[in-house]
Structure formats: C-alpha cells, structure tokens
Structure 1
C-alpha cells in the first residue's frame, strides 16, 4: 500500500489531501506538471509566480520540462528553460526532456533543448533519443540529432542500432536518412541485421533501400534464418529479396569510398575536388 499527495480541486488554494490507494507507483504529478503537459502557458506562469519550483520532481524524477516536451509544447518548454529548468534532468526510467521531444516528434522542442545544452548521448538503453526518433519515424528530429553529432551506429542490448529500430518500425523516411548519413547497413541487433528486421516487418520499400545500400541478403541470424526465410510467401518483400545478380562495379566503388570516408565525415564529400555528378553519386543524391 502506498500513498500519494494530490491537489484538492474543491478549493482555490494549493492545499493537499492524502489519498491512500493500492498502487505500484506514486500518482504525485503537481499542477505544474499538468499545466506543462497540457501546454497551458498562462497557468504555468501563474504557478511559478505563486512559488512552485521550476524543477519540481515526482517520485519518478519526472520534471515539468519532461512533461512539456512529451506534450510537444515549445512555448512551455522555453518558459521553463528561461526560468532555470534543468535541461539534463533524467527520470527514474532514464528519459530526458530530449528523449520526450523525440517521442512526441516536436522538432521545435528538440532544437530548443539542443540550443540549451541537452546531451545527445544515450543515458539509458531504454530511453535513447536517436533510437526513439528513428522508431517513431520523426525524420526532422532525427536530422537535428545527427547534425549535432549523435552516434549513428550506437548499438544497445535488446534494442540494436537506430537503423535496426527504424526497420523494425517500418519507418522508411528515417531508414533512408540514416543510410544516407552513413549508418552501417549490416549493424542491427546482435546477429539480426536491419534486413532481417525489414523482411520480418514486410516493408518492401525498406528492404529495397537496404539492398541498394549493400545489405547482405544471405546473412543468417542467431536462428540460422536468412531475410528471405523470414519473408511472407508471394510478398513484395520476397520478390525483392529473390532478385539475383551482383552489385554493379560503380555501386561497389560507392560502398568502398563511403566506408573509407566514414559516416562522421560524409558531409565533407560535397567539398571534395570532384565533378558534381560524382559527389551526388557518393551522397545518393
């Protein structure tokens, strides 16, 4: 049996009553948390004026900034940050405000947090901003993270790489962005490759993207299955995987050059002393 403190809604004051309940967690979100999550900026300002601390935390260490970003409310997040909110606060389950912004798909909040020094590094294997943006197919959020140097090939236990997460979720836009940004097409989750995930998910567009970037259609996972063996009979995915023939010499050259440059320097390919058509070819443009 646990108890929590909740606001008494029958009075105008901020008095509290105790409510005892059988629960596995605390229900202790304050009016400040609620206003931030719902995007009620005027109410948020009033509460701060009345004495609520900007970094008031729940028992699970969730801050009002976490809630504002989860709701995708830029104005509330900016107000909290302007009043000293901790941009790097981490909840009990490892989530940051940046992770919540990636979850909600608010590119404006992601940009704001990055400007205020939010860390792009993964703090918890269950709450990685880049994995969340990829999984939810929030391309603009993912693009902002990558532009700030977020590691494109970080592999987490039981989660895999951002590319693997995007393939599992059939998030084609983010799969393409990650591949163009230099993600290793072979790195997934252990022996399970992104192509295995895409074949299992039944998304032919994602499968064809991966193959175009050099995915190995003959690779076997821990269950000794190839991507083809995981695909549905008579599906577009199976048809794509059954196409035979080696990659062209020009394609093999592109793979080699891109690997040599490295993902964190791919953006410099446009400044190489090469014909424009070659630069575009290297960058898949």
Structure 2
C-alpha cells in the first residue's frame, strides 16, 4: 500500500513540475503562415494567450494534425530560414517548403517542439535563432519525458545553446521525469561546461535554490557528482555555493556519507579538506565513521578519526562505531581502552 502511495505522490510531483501550457501558445502563433517577428508588442500578446490557457493539461492535444515525425524534421528545417528585417527577426519560408504547415506549431508524437528537434539534431545555428525568436513560455515547454530544450541541450553537451537559453530566462527549475533539473543532468553526465554556463548566467539566489533541489531519488546535484566520482564538478559546485552537508531525502546521507560508502579515499579527503562535517548524522544517527567501520574500511575510518571524528557518538540503535567493528584489528586499534569508561565517556584523553 505504501508503495502505491509513493508512486501516486511521485506522479503528482511530476505533474506539478511540468510546465507545458505553452504548447497551446505555440500552436496559436503563426497559424496564418505570416512571418513571425520578435518584438515586445507581439511577446505581450503571446503572454496574454498563454495565461488564457487552462492549467489542466489536455494530453489529447498531442494527436493534433500539426504532429509530425522526427524523421521529417531535417528536411523541414532546410525549408525555412531566419533573417534580420526591420522590426525584428523573421522566419521565412524558402522555395519548395510546405507552406500549409507552420514549423512553429510542430509538436511531434514525442511531444517535441521544433526547438527540441533542432537541439536533438544538433542544428546549432538554427536552434540559437529559434531561442532568440521564441518567447520564454515556449522555451520551457516539456516533451513526453518532461524534458525542456534546456535539458536536451545539457544532455547533448551544447554549452552555447545552454548559454543562449539561460540568457533568454529559460527555467533552471523545471524537472524531468526523473525529477532532474538541467543542472542535475549536467552533474549526472559530467557536462561541466554546461554547468558553468548555467552558474554564470543566473542570479546567485536562484542558483542556491537549484543547488538545494532534490530529484525523485532525493539527490541534489552535489550528491550526484559524488556518486559519479567527479571531483572536478564537485569542486565547481562547492565553489558556487553548494552545501557540503546537504542531506539526501531518503536516509539523510551527506556527500561525505556517500563518499565513504563508495570507499573513495580521494573524495573523502577532498570533502574533509573543504570543511565537510565529519560527524554529520543520517536520519538513523549514523555518522560517516559508523559507515566506514561497518564496511570494514580501516583506511577511511583512520582518516575520519584523524580529522576529529567523535568515536563515542551513538546511532538510533544505541551503537557506537566500535560496536560495528566486528573484530577487525585495524579498526579496533582506533579505539584504545574503549571499554574503560566513566559516566559513559572513554577515559582516554580525560584529565584527572
């Protein structure tokens, strides 16, 4: 029963995160095959149309007669060009193009707009021109996988397109079907250049919000780079303000807990050198030292103790790290005379 409820909550989160009301706006523009000009008056008119769209998504809209296959997009792109004319940029139909079908109104069976498709096919010049041409609401449309153009540009490692999208205020907080923001995608797939473009182009307060966001697995961006063993991106995220002691949403593990679980001495050393809390506790009270000892990792346990880990902290099972040593002599050596206690405290280091 709990599993069913969790799935329902997850679906609700996905639906709440989806921001594709711009689909109807996309279909409403240029329907008379008139050139689309980018100017403030038209953008304001488009926003008025957007706000008149009902909040509930009409999924049947995907079966519109404007739907085309992905395979046809390459040829279609060749039939259109974007040029500078007085009053703004204009999308023009070149000779031989199908005039009865506006490319600005395309929604494929996968929910992709022409901007999604330009990015998927890495038509970079065309994609950047479309970004300049479209209002913000269209830039944040999600496809059937809940991906915006920014998600796709990040996944495909297209930093120039990412920069253009962020400059046009494409949202950094829209989540895909896995709950990943575009920055999550950059961290999971090692797209450092894209991550740098995002951090450089958005205000600091917004970046902090994104760094705190969790995907559906409860992971923030910093958790992801630890799991992917990516020290370069880890240093970058810490440098732009990621919380070293942020807890993931399922068990309360910090990045240091995850690095210990991975038996990754280099990452543990890096996190400690940057100021990670050596005694951070999970929801069950376990510290990184509990995890290191429980996994019989004497080297990391030694490093944690050298970094000031409290050997006497107890988890919710009333266990200290020593209780998890399981006879490992190398680890037991870290707890000399631990059985001699006064008022629950080890006599080691006490002054009389």
TM bucket (normalised to shorter chain) is 0.5 to 0.7
CA spacing shift, 1:31–1:200, aligned 2, 3 Å: farther
Match of 2:233 in 1: 141
- TM-score, normalised to structure 1, is 0.64
| Structure 1 unmatched runs, 5+ | 19-26, 247-285
Deviation at 1:108, TM superposition (A): 2.2
**CA RMSD, 1 decimal:** 3.7
Q: How does 1:127-276 map to 2 (within 5 A)?
A: 127-157=219-249, 158-190=251-283, 191-230=285-324, 239-245=330-336
| Structure 2 unmatched runs, 5+ | 1-58, 77-102, 338-352
Instruction: Give yes or no for the alignment of 1:124 onto 2:214.
Output: yes
Separation in 2 of the partners of 1:217 and 1:165? Answer: 19
Q: Name which one, 1 or 2, has greater alpha-carbon Rg.
A: 2
Separation in 2 of the partners of 1:156 and 1:206? Answer: 21
CA spacing shift, 1:223–1:114, aligned 2, 3 Å: same
Separation in 1 of the partners of 2:257 and 2:189? Answer: 20
Match of 2:111 in 1: 28
Match of 1:113 in 2: 198
Deviation at 1:185, TM superposition (A): 0.6
Q: How does 1:6-45 map to 2 (within 5 A)?
A: 7-11=68-72, 12-13=75-76, 27-30=110-113, 32-33=115-116, 36=119, 41-42=124-125, 44-45=127-128
Conservation of the 8 A alpha-carbon contact between 2:116 and 2:148: yes
Match of 1:119, SS state, is helix
The farther-off stretch of 144-153 and 5-14 is 5-14
Deviation at 1:189, TM superposition (A): 0.9
Deviation at 1:186, TM superposition (A): 0.7
- TM-score, normalised to structure 2, is 0.54
Match of 1:66, SS state, is helix
Deviation at 1:45, TM superposition (A): 4.0
Conservation of the 8 A alpha-carbon contact between 1:187 and 1:193: yes
